[in-house]
Structure 1
Amino acid sequence: MTLLTTHNPIRPLPEATAAELMRTFIDQDTDALLVGACLALLAQRVPEAHELAAFAEALGEVAVPFPPVPGTALDTCGTGGDGAATANLSTLAALLLAHLGVPVVKHGNRAATSVCGSADLLEALGYDLARGSAELAGDLDRHRFAFLFAPAYHPLLGRLREIRRRLGIPTIFNLLGPLLNPAAPPLQLLGVAREELAAPMAGALARRGTLRRAFVVHGKDAEGKGLDEASIEGPTTVLEVRDGSVAAPAVLVPRDLGLAQPPRHALRIKDRAEALAVARGLHAGAGHADFRPAVADAVALQAGLGLLLHRGEGLAQLPAAWGEARQALERGFSLPFPGPGEVRS
């Protein structure tokens, strides 16, 4: 209570204060009105890297732990909040990467502001969200894919759900999701919806001692609106994080990959049923009625960036990595988990 009344969160907070503030947020005894007021104040400015890192570290202290993962394990995720209503590009890229031999430990949740969240899509494809950590570690070893359902690993965040819903605005928690993977994978592809967030998110990743390399990406659609994905419609800014430092931004342009401008709204979906149909179309390959070439291009772009991280390659190799991923989608790919009714090994 004292912390909330003696510090104004609209000003940058020292790391120790930020961590203590987050512990206060998740304390069951903290008044919900005060938490809401602080979240509203924090939402009025762009957070700094050290604040994001401190918030994430405080939440990590109370998260359910996950067993150690391979040194090449990767997460693909975004902050959400771009309002673009696109297909689940990061999730589909994660599935494709696992098919291509990359161990993927993805952290995600159900939809909050999007049409279909990563957990919603995977569940519809037959993934069991209730699997425990030991089972998931086995999945990662055998199938190169594990999905860590956020509520199972961050139970104390449950009390904030209603506070955030009543506020009706994006809060700091919309940014923290990609920083809270309890497996702490050493590789990460992280998309941000707002360009001004790319640098602080990259800086927060750079402070994570377990991270070896990451790409933080911010794309623009054909109308210049921000996307929390690499874009096939407009330029994408990429910040590379490696061994605790952030490189100068690079810009990707679709034509450099030989990509033509896709039809307007080619990546959009209207509901979860369409999201599932698009996913099944990609899974089945180019001969399927629901296969969408533009979605395949976009998924291959995210997967191509993931391949570069996995292989330790630079952005100059992206055209080849994109082509490899795109060819795999043409053929269709196997899901890295059994579908409904199938027996797990």
Structure 2
Amino acid sequence: MTRLDRREYKCNHCGAVTVISDNDAERLEQLLKQVMNRQAAQSFPSKQQPNSKMIALGLAGLVFTVTLISLATLSSHHGMSSANSSATDSVNPSVDNYFAHTTVPRDRVVVSPLEWVPDGEGGTYNGLIYNHSGYAVSPPHYNLVLFHNGIKDDQSSSIPLLGTLEPGEYTPVSFRVGKAKPDARYELIQPDRIDRSIFEVAPVALQQPIMVHQPNSPSYYLVGFVQNTLKRQFSGGGLVMLYDSEGRLIGSGFGAIEDLNPGEKTKIVMNAFLLREGKEVASYEYLLDMRYKNERQSVSMQDIEQLGSATVPNRIVRVNHAQVVIAPDTNSFEPADVLRGQ
């Protein structure tokens, strides 16, 4: 292992970077100082020089102890970050409250077959990402490549709507392309790895949800209140997925809130668009993806493991037989206006 910083060590075998806790870092520093002091004593021996064999055995014992601590730390957290990512960001409390990242098998996070929806000269390929890994993950970025008559044509990348996907949850994925043809073939490029996302999820409910539709437009809005009844500040967003009478996904959207303090209440508006014109919303699903602002000065590996093993209830709420409020057909309409007096 090669030391990169006070708490960072790099494995010379696989290149993985790991960050150890403050306690282990202090122990390593003390042992390394003892080794250095003994080496210095050998360079400047006193009149009563101890037996050289005893010195060698003492040094070997210290080095062995240092190695054991380092290997124990690395083996328990191996793969927390690759050489291409920043280990400091993985546990830095100031970076979106992400405590750590480990990977999950790529075949445990799957994408459904994509459906082509034309739109003028181009269109979108749409589907769902399912998390079957058993861990909370950061929804990965996927790349889609189109082929026409065996020749590579257009390509597109997905932008995840959620910051985290809990076990058993799913989220829409969409690829916008401008040159698609009906007989085009697509290939979905898998990410190099899928990171396990560990942070403290704030258990929050959407209050008084109302689905609103503006006439003569593909826009639907899920509006409601979010109240912080907890003891810490949180931020995040809400995702809504629209379905037709056959249960097919026909639209999705997102809305965000920032820095909601304990005791505060705010409105949230999730703006969704229909993928196909003329479809009616028969049901919808939504979830709130909120996370605490981390107030800790440091995060230990024990904290990370405890957070990673915590069970989070299914956050997806399904509403069948959706009641849709028709909004005024005016340019001055604001979706949150329907919440006045609520």
TM-score (norm 2): 0.23
Higher helix share: 1
Q: Which has the larger radius of gyration?
A: 2
TM-score of the superposed pair, with normalisation by structure 1: 0.23
